[in-house]
Amino acid sequence: MSRGDDATLAAGLPDTDDGFLQPFLRKAEAEPERVFCRAGAGVLSFGDLERKSAALAGWLQGQGVVPGDRVALMLRNSGTALALMLAIARAGAVWVPVNTQAVGDNLAYTLTHAEPRVVVAEADLLPVIGTCGAELRGTTVVGADVAAAVQDAPAADWSEPALPDADAPFAIMYSSGTTGRPKGVIVSHRMLRLSGEAAAIVSAAVEGDVLYIWEPLFHIGGAQMIVLPLIRDVTLVLAERFSASRFWSDATACGATHVHFLGGILQILLKQPPGPLDKSHPVRIAWGGGCPIDVWRAFEERFGVEVRECYGMTECSSFTTANVNGIVGSVGTPLPWFDVAIVDAAGRPAAVSERGEIVVRERLAGALTRGYFKDADATGKALRGGAFHTGDLGSWDASGNMYFHGRMTDSMRVRGENVTGAEVEEIVRQHPAVEDCVAIGVAADVGEQEIKLFVLPKADMVVAPAELSAWLASRLARYQRPRYIAMVEQFERTPSQRIMKHKLSKRTDDVWDASQ
């Protein structure tokens, strides 16, 4: 079964031939005093950003950057980071966002693989870059303080290149590496524009709304937000980072009407102690991806907000589907610029309720990535037959709503049955003493796999593995029950708060074993 032409979304195909830079420059000229965003105690208007980005673009040219060169930014959320992103686009260069938590081999791999002409990093991260082992011959590495000084100086004479084509690369966004070595997704100007168009649909943002952004700009979830003020009269508020304890007070202080979620954000917020701001904040909508069924209504009822869910990945302009009808648990229907199919192992369309791989095709040329930077093998595996094979599991209901069931690599073969980590985790999280959990497949004594469950208990609570196993016995089929249970004090997470599964131990000789 596939969906696309009969999608329930009413919006048509947007005109994205001007990418995102042209709309920014037009609006900066027409409404220079309009507020683009607030960052810390500062306010940035369109005119401010136009001037700062022009100064920085000229500076990049002075550093030898020419159209097509890569410029890496290892920066926390700030007005300077935002101005640099726009400056890179204006210089015709390609932005390489770098995770500010990256260290050692992973950081060295990204910087060496991307071969940037210039790297701009926070001052305290310069030693991290210097000792990571990256090969940076011919690369200029400077601190953010240098860029901050440049952006506030009068713009030097510079030769602004022709505006980039909509399908020219704007960014190489390296995956967060939850399953292994990151790949550099080539993101065009059109793709970033489409991600903003989709964010407008999913968030239902209207004139005057204020969108609180905790997610790093170096992640697609943060980067896509720079498009919204260009296509809607809304204001962004940049937080330096996510803080569960300050989340509602920060959102209230800035007058936020919308908050974004990914990964385990909603679960983390639900685990916070009840407080006076639970329903006295101005937020109307929480929108994003990854809201478990058991969390959806609980979050809406406690905090008095509407949850709006979607599904997507960087390779597909960030968003593929949007839930605009409020069906709990569904990630919605395809966006107008995509056709989406769910296929079985033989590539045949899956029946209603049957799980299969989510495969995405363009209805608007340029909506899908053209591949991974310097990785022909990964590109060939993902882009086949004119479609992007996501590696994700999904299913349709009879009304054409899609449901997401996790990564295919999260699927485990246990006693002749296929089990996904998501279906186990959904049940485990319902235990009153469990804050979070993750399930992975480990080698069985004989053939196939067993399930190993990692559990993070709630603060000041104890979860005994044997008691948890007994509790699960009446809630999971025998083949879904974890054989091994490990208690953890914390999970290592990506910036979007996804648990890094590939770093979890697959040892089975040092944890509780249900068979003993």
Say yes or no to pLDDT of 9 above 60. Answer: no
In percent, how much of the chain has pLDDT > 90? 76
Q: State the helix-helix crossing angle for 79-90 and 46-62, rounded to 10 degrees.
A: 60
Say yes or no to pLDDT of 4 above 80. Answer: no
Q: Which pLDDT tens digit goes with each residue over 313-325? A: 999 999 999 999 9
Say yes or no to pLDDT of 211 above 90. Answer: yes
CATH of residue 71's domain is 3.40.50.12780
Domain boundary among 387, 406, 425: 406
Q: Do 209 and 260 share a domain, yes or no?
A: yes
Of the pLDDT bands very low, low, confident and very high (cuts 50, 70, 90), residue 51 is very high
Q: What sign for the dihedral angle of Cα 443, 446, 451, 457?
A: negative
Domain boundary among 165, 185, 212: 165
Q: Do 241 and 108 share a domain, yes or no?
A: no
Q: Is residue 485 part of a domain?
A: yes
Structural domain containing residue 508: 417-513
Q: Is residue 11 part of a domain?
A: no
> Mean pLDDT, to the nearest integer, of 208-237?
95
Q: Do 83 and 203 share a domain, yes or no?
A: no
Partners of residue 406 on adjacent β-strands: none
Nearest to 371 by CA among 355, 358, 384: 384
Q: Do 152 and 230 share a domain, yes or no?
A: no
Q: Do 466 and 491 share a domain, yes or no?
A: yes
Q: Is residue 254 part of a domain?
A: yes
Burial of 432 (0-12, 13-18, 19+ CB in 10 A): exposed
> Mean pLDDT, to the nearest integer, of 476-496?
87
- Number of domains making up the chain: 3
Say yes or no to pLDDT of 11 above 70. Answer: no
Q: Do 395 and 433 share a domain, yes or no?
A: no
Q: Is residue 305 part of a domain?
A: yes
Strands, sheet with 35-39, edge to edge from the N-terminal-most edge strand? 42-45, 35-39, 235-238, 210-213, 258-261, 285-288, 306-311, 321-322, 333-334
Domain boundary among 359, 378, 406: 406
Q: Do 249 and 314 share a domain, yes or no?
A: yes
Tokens of 235: 């204001």
Nearest to 213 by CA among 78, 336, 111: 78
Nearest to 438 by CA among 448, 328, 427, 447: 427
Higher pLDDT among residues 262 and 485, named by residue: 485
CATH of residue 482's domain is 3.30.300.30
> Mean pLDDT, to the nearest integer, of 500-514?
89
Q: Do 123 and 230 share a domain, yes or no?
A: no
Residue 338 CA, chain-centre distance (Å), reads: 19
Provide the b/e sequence for 329-353 (b: ≥16 CB within 10 Å): bbbbbbbbbbbbbbbeeeeeebeee
Of the pLDDT bands very low, low, confident and very high (cuts 50, 70, 90), residue 263 is low
pLDDT value of residue 8: 41
Q: Is residue 218 part of a domain?
A: yes
Q: Do 335 and 484 share a domain, yes or no?
A: no
Tokens of 454: 């990692």
Of the pLDDT bands very low, low, confident and very high (cuts 50, 70, 90), residue 446 is low
> Mean pLDDT, to the nearest integer, of 151-158?
86
Q: What is the pTM of this model?
A: 0.84
Q: Is residue 98 part of a domain?
A: yes
pLDDT value of residue 6: 41
Q: Is residue 1 part of a domain?
A: no
Give ∠ CA 40-46-50 in degrees, rounded to 5: 105
Q: Do 239 and 126 share a domain, yes or no?
A: no
Measured from the Cβ of residue 10, the count of other Cβ atoms closer than 10 Å reads: 8
Q: Do 265 and 384 share a domain, yes or no?
A: yes
Q: Is residue 181 part of a domain?
A: no
Mean pLDDT of the chain: 92
Say yes or no to pLDDT of 5 above 60. Answer: no
Nearest to 401 by CA among 3, 47, 80: 3
Q: Which pLDDT tens digit goes with each residue over 94-134? A: 999 998 988 888 899 999 999 999 999 999 999 999 999 99
Say yes or no to pLDDT of 7 above 50. Answer: no
Q: Do 372 and 452 share a domain, yes or no?
A: no
> Mean pLDDT, to the nearest integer, of 282-311?
94
Of the pLDDT bands very low, low, confident and very high (cuts 50, 70, 90), residue 1 is low
